Amino acid sequence: DGGITQSPKYLFRKEGQNVTLSCEQNLNHDAMYWYRQDPGQGLRLIYYSQIVNDFQKGDIAEGYSVSREKKESFPLTVTSAQKNPTAFYLCASQTGTVTGELFFGEGSRLTVL
Amino acid sequence: QQQVKQSPQSLIVQKGGISIINCAYENTAFDYFPWYQQFPGKGPALLIAIRPDVSEKKEGRFTISFNKSAKQFSLHIMDSQPGDSATYFCAASTTSGTYKYIFGTGTRLKVLA
């Protein structure tokens, strides 16, 4: 089945450690996004990529990094510079139609101990 | 100007009742208004969407009402069911250029059996 696969589903990290969240899609979508979800704050855009080897910062990019070496993959690294990394992270890809529907993965919950 | 304001933050409705969630925007360049539904531990999924050339769109028990002059749109869930219990996000985007979505802060709906 086509879709977005995020891993791991749950991740625990000690302060000062970098962690990488995986996002893979087999929908053949060009655009991919990373969102952070916190209670009461909706979905906030971290980074997005519209094409391989190119990506742009979203609204809350500080402390995060991404790469887009393949169309199917858009990993997110949460660095030690991110001051409050405990959150639910969602990856999405987007169709190229006029309406640009977003397809989300099931998310990764990161907890910093 | 880039915000989408969503209310209420939470909503409790009896089974069979009508659930109403409201959103307001400021940027008149927005021309696509989707609603996403998210169940606990899952990623959001597109529920229904509207373009500003119509004032209402209905899909089953779900209806979007759109008021272009007031820059407001709302989701109505008729005959609400316990299975509708989820978090609902409104969003807005432009269909030209980058499809960056601006999401509302979400409404947690609980439908009592």
Q: Inspect the interface and report whether the beta carbons of B105 and A40 lie closer than 8 Å.
A: yes
| Confidence check: pLDDT of B99 > 80 | no
Question: How many Cβ pairs closer than 8 A exist between chain A and B?
Answer: 55
Lowest mean pLDDT among B58-72, B76-90, B94-108: B94-108
* A6, closest residue in chain B (CA to CA): B43
Residues 6+ apart with CB under 8 A from B6: A42, B21, B22, B23, B89, B90, B104, B105, B106, B107
pLDDT digits (tens, 9 = 90+) for A53-98: 999 999 999 999 999 999 999 999 999 888 899 999 999 998 876 6
From chain A, the residues in CB contact with B43 under 8 A are 4, 6, 90, 92, 104-107
Mean pLDDT of chain B: 93
- Count CA within 13 A, CB hemisphere, residue A63: 14
| pLDDT tens digits for range A20-48 | 999 999 999 999 999 999 988 889 999 99
Chain-chain contact of A106 with B34 (C-beta, under 8 angstroms): no
Check if the beta carbon of residue A92 is closer than 8 Å to that of residue A47.
no
Judged by CB atoms closer than 8 Å, whether chains meet at A101 and B34 is answered as: yes
Query: Smallest CA–CA separation between A108 and chain B, in Å?
Result: 9
Residue range B87-96: mean pLDDT, rounded: 89
Q: What share of chain B is helix, strand, coil (3-state, %, to 5)?
A: 5, 55, 45
Contact A106 B45 (CB under 8 A): no
CB-CB under 8 Å, B6 with A43 = no
Partner residues linked to A92 by β-bridges: A33, A104
